[in-house]
Structure 1
Amino acid sequence: MSNRWNHFLSEVTNQIRSKEAKKFVASELEFHLKEVKKEWIGKGLSEAEAEEKAVSQMGSPSKLGHELNKLHKPRIDWWLISLLAITMALSFLPLITLGDELSDGYIVMKAIHVLLGVMIAAAMMFIDYRKFENKGWVFYSIGVLLLFLLLTIPNAIINGVPYFMIGPFQIESHYALPFLFLGWASFFNNSKIRLWQHFLLVALPLLLFMAVPNLAVSFIYIAMVFVMMWWSTISRKAATIITITSIVGVAAFSTFAWFTVKEYQLARILGFLNPEKYPDNWGYMYLQLKERLASAGWFGSAVKSEALPFEHTDYAFLNLTYHYGYLFAIGLFVILSMFAARIVMISTKISSRFGNLLLVGGVTLFLVQFIYNVGMMIGLLPLTSMSLPFISYGFIPMIFNAFIMGVVLSVYRRKDFILNRSA
């Protein structure tokens, strides 16, 4: 490479502020210069003459650098950041409505959760998501290892969910989802993985989730994998085979589970299907939810009622509906729906297949939590431990959803780093 060539590249990249964009532009320019040089050599020019022609064709390096700086500078999605700021502010309301039921310590802890969530989202935004593309096996292995540790090392149980401690951190099955999310985005972007390998890769974490057990996380995992699969470049035939086989497997497992179900488990199912018949036990919570919704009104209930369990966590949507009314609930529903709408809009602007898989997986993880939580609050779905994204109190839900949005922001930030190579 001649000094003229190096000087040209240096002058162009000096106009670009972002270090990340600088490397990208330098790589692209060098590629295009080599292509033009080959054309001139093919026309009979010497290598030195071809290099001179290639550089001259590019025009003014200063002007070109200025244009490329505007075109390829990293982007910040202020719409998504605004939604994050609004929902994180609203997330304090479930605690405020409980008043003296909770100490000020919960407010302080919530503030810490929000601060950590902001830090996680910001950190993920500045990390180049493309670095994860070839590390699927690493992320997948970490996710599986966490689940395996939950089954093998001594652990405690809170509300039926097992966990173990790593220093001050309480590790439970939710922690495996972000790693499996990144792993599957990489796998579905890899055409070399065969059908039988997909079966094994899907089945292993699912069996571990069910053995832990955590049905809510199992459901989120299944939805994420299958939506990403149908969005990926995997053949429709393979996707159909995996889907049908999985449906048959779930049906067979459900049939077997029905005949082996324990009495209290059956009572919980019947309590959901017919709560009026079990008003003093398994149907009690469903009746309480129905009563709260009926008395909320458009602007909230003026009657102070006894707090229900988990009003600041899993039942946060019901809590806010009861205290602030249907209009507030509709507004909150719209705000949370805008997260999904925004991610879908971003996906239409992304040419990276891996980036699109991350967006599809991310919006699925978000929507499953959101739709299921609202669905169980209005009596359409059985009650389980499913948080309302960003609104429910808890360290894990906040960090998990902040991580998802951070990945989305990372993809958006680099949406203009587009490879235009034809070879």
Structure 2
Amino acid sequence: MYLRNRLAEYQIARIQAMFSSGSETDYLTKMLHSLWRQNKLIGKSKSDVTGILPAFNADYILTYLSSVYGIIAAILLCCVLAVLIFAVFNTALRQINQLGMMMGCGCRIVFLISFLINVLENLGVFPQSITFLPFFSAGGSCIIISYGLMGIVLSTYRYKNIYPRHPGAGFMSINSKVKKVS
């Protein structure tokens, strides 16, 4: 749509500002690329991220961890979160009732999208956005959302055997007993 000029002028201006040089997002992307180039595999890097990046403990926690503890620590953190997201997905697919499965898959999708967007944003591939790294980003709402979603997943796992596969089957037997009595 951009190439065929089928967008409004303000939409074209936003797209051009996002991908052209001189904008704030371009500066931040260049800063992230330079910070990742200065990081070591293990140990603290030469640059101080706390004075350079805005919200280093929330939006750019992965860049902060890699500059303080090394790139391997950031990779390990990503691996741990990927295993957690896979476990949530595995738990959701093993649900007997459909509601539990849908709620678990929904929570997994929220975790997966926020994880992927945050990692890509920290690497400078994705433009700056409002996102969080599940369980690690600072801020009250990020932590509440992460633990709330995990509580929903654990609750669906705990009560996975409450409803039978076909809830209507139990009601038919009750109705047939009522008809026999009357």
Class of the TM-score when normalised by the shorter of the 2 chains: 0.7 to 0.9
Contact kept, 8 Å, 1:267 with 1:282, in 2: the verdict is no
Say if 2:13 is the partner of 1:270: no
Mapped to 1, the partners of 2:24 and 2:106 lie a distance apart of: 38
Change (3 A) 1:329 1:285: same
SS where residue 7 of structure 2 aligns? helix
Report what 2:46 is aligned to.
303
1:12-411 to structure 2, matched below 5 A, reads: 255-257=6-8, 259-261=9-11, 265-266=14-15, 268-271=17-20, 277-278=21-22, 281-305=24-48, 306-411=51-156
1:419 CA drift (Å): 1.9
1:359 CA drift (Å): 0.7
Mapped to 1, the partners of 2:86 and 2:71 lie a distance apart of: 22
1:263-291 deviation line (CA, Å, top 9, x unaligned): 5x3553124xxxxx43x844211111001
Give the counterpart letter for 1:393 in structure 2. A
Mapped to 2, the partners of 1:390 and 1:347 lie a distance apart of: 19
1:323-343 deviation line (CA, Å, top 9, x unaligned): 111110111001111221111
1:286-310 deviation line (CA, Å, top 9, x unaligned): 1110011111121133424233211
Give the counterpart letter for 1:415 in structure 2. K
Mapped to 2, the partners of 1:383 and 1:410 lie a distance apart of: 34
Mapped to 2, the partners of 1:373 and 1:420 lie a distance apart of: 37
Contact kept, 8 Å, 1:369 with 1:386, in 2: the verdict is yes
Mapped to 2, the partners of 1:312 and 1:381 lie a distance apart of: 18
Mapped to 1, the partners of 2:72 and 2:94 lie a distance apart of: 33
Mapped to 2, the partners of 1:304 and 1:380 lie a distance apart of: 21
Structure of higher RCO (CA pairs closer than 8 Å, 6+ residues apart): 1
Change (3 A) 1:358 1:270: same
SS where residue 91 of structure 2 aligns? helix
Mapped to 1, the partners of 2:69 and 2:29 lie a distance apart of: 20
1:344 CA drift (Å): 1.6
Give the counterpart letter for 1:301 in structure 2. K
Contact kept, 8 Å, 2:96 with 2:161, in 1: the verdict is no
Contact kept, 8 Å, 1:295 with 1:301, in 2: the verdict is no
Mapped to 2, the partners of 1:309 and 1:267 lie a distance apart of: 23
Contact kept, 8 Å, 2:134 with 2:143, in 1: the verdict is yes
Change (3 A) 1:350 1:370: same
Moved over 3 A (4+): 265-268, 420-423
Contact kept, 8 Å, 2:66 with 2:74, in 1: the verdict is yes
Max Rg structure: 1
Length, aligned pairs only: 164
Mapped to 2, the partners of 1:335 and 1:282 lie a distance apart of: 29
Change (3 A) 1:348 1:292: same
Mapped to 1, the partners of 2:138 and 2:70 lie a distance apart of: 20
Structure 2 gap segments, 5+ residues each: 173-182
SS where residue 311 of structure 1 aligns? coil
Contact kept, 8 Å, 2:92 with 2:102, in 1: the verdict is no
Give the counterpart letter for 1:294 in structure 2. R
Name the Cα RMSD after superposition: 2.5
Give the counterpart letter for 2:44 in structure 1. S
Mapped to 2, the partners of 1:309 and 1:317 lie a distance apart of: 13
TM-score (norm 2): 0.79
Structure 1 gap segments, 5+ residues each: 1-249, 272-276
